[in-house]
Amino acid sequence: MESPDKTERQPCAENGEMVIEVKGLKKKIGSQVILDGVDLSIRRGETMVIIGQSGEGKSVLLKHLVGLMTPDEGSIKIDGEEIVGVPERRMSAIRKKIGVLFQDGALFDSMTVAENVAFPLQESGIKKRQELLERVTHALSLMGLEAHMAKMPINISGGMRKRAALARAIITQPECILYDEPTSGLDPVVSDSIDRLILRMQKELCVTSIVVTHDMRSVQHVADRVAYLKKGKIYFLGTPEELRNSTDQVVQNFIQGVSENGNGSNSGVSNGVGLTPVSPQPN
């Protein structure tokens, strides 16, 4: 696999075409305002990382992008097509362009790992057993899971479940993949392999990626741009370097893991790595 060194990547978003455009997105759950006018544009082929403290609405934003939640106000366009207010059945065509890695994998617990990964292919009309087997085996071997194909999700570890879910998300080669906390709860080695896979998907297939994470090391590895979500709005939007060099105290507090009362406790940075520059991994 390639090094996660960003300098080796060849972004395919040079034309700056917007694939996802979010305007004035507002969402209230109960009495709590979760999103309070989010504006965000994501270019084709770029990797946008969304960071923010727990409970700031990152996953809610992600779910809006794929139509799993309906906003109170605002607009979301995917490939220029408005998805807010589109009936569930008409969303199917739009969703087929998108793969989602859920926070806990969301594997179907009544199916084996291989059946889970084969499911999107079967639903897209592929019935040939040999083709299914080849593609599933390839996807699972990318994740190092070929030996666990016949196991039920309950019988594999959390990290394996997440990798199996990632295999399921990428098997139809979607144009855009949304990752909800792809490295949370994983050991550093597996986290690194997932970061590399995100980069590989972008480099080889020009996949647009939106990654919600707390893992600042991942931010440095994979992000083309970073959006910092705070109090329901995009507080900061820029490159990882701009984020690192930001003089804004709130941003610095977040990336250094300093709480707002300044006692140094966790403010949402789960691994406590902060923004220590990460040297490229050897091949």
Work out whether strand 73-78 and strand 47-51 pair parallel, antiparallel, or are unpaired.
unpaired
In the bound complex, what is the minimum distance in angstroms from residue 120's beta carbon to other proteins?
5
In the bound complex, what is the minimum distance in angstroms from residue 63's beta carbon to other proteins?
7
In the bound complex, what is the minimum distance in angstroms from residue 48's beta carbon to other proteins?
18
* CA pair distance 236, 244, nearest whole angstrom: 11
Nearer to other proteins, 66 or 229 (CB): 66
* CA pair distance 110, 119, nearest whole angstrom: 12
DSSP 171-233: TT--SEEEEESTTTT--HHHHHHHHHHHHHHHHHH--EEEEE-S-HHHHHHH-SEEEEEETTE
Nearer to other proteins, 154 or 189 (CB): 154
DSSP 233-258: EEEEEE-HHHHHH---HHHHHHHHT-
Q: Are 275 and 255 in contact (CB under 8 A)?
A: yes
By CB under 8 A, name the binding residues for other proteins: 63, 66-68, 88-89, 91-93, 95-96, 98-100, 102-104, 106-109, 119-120, 123
Nearer to other proteins, 92 or 276 (CB): 92
Nearer to other proteins, 122 or 239 (CB): 122
In the bound complex, what is the minimum distance in angstroms from residue 128's beta carbon to other proteins?
17
Handedness of CA 197, 202, 207, 210 (dihedral sign): positive
* Residue at token pair 């990547």: 9
In the bound complex, what is the minimum distance in angstroms from residue 229's beta carbon to other proteins?
20
Nearer to other proteins, 10 or 110 (CB): 110
Residue 191 CA, distance from chain mean position: 13
Nearer to other proteins, 32 or 265 (CB): 32
In the bound complex, what is the minimum distance in angstroms from residue 258's beta carbon to other proteins?
32
Handedness of CA 146, 151, 152, 157 (dihedral sign): negative
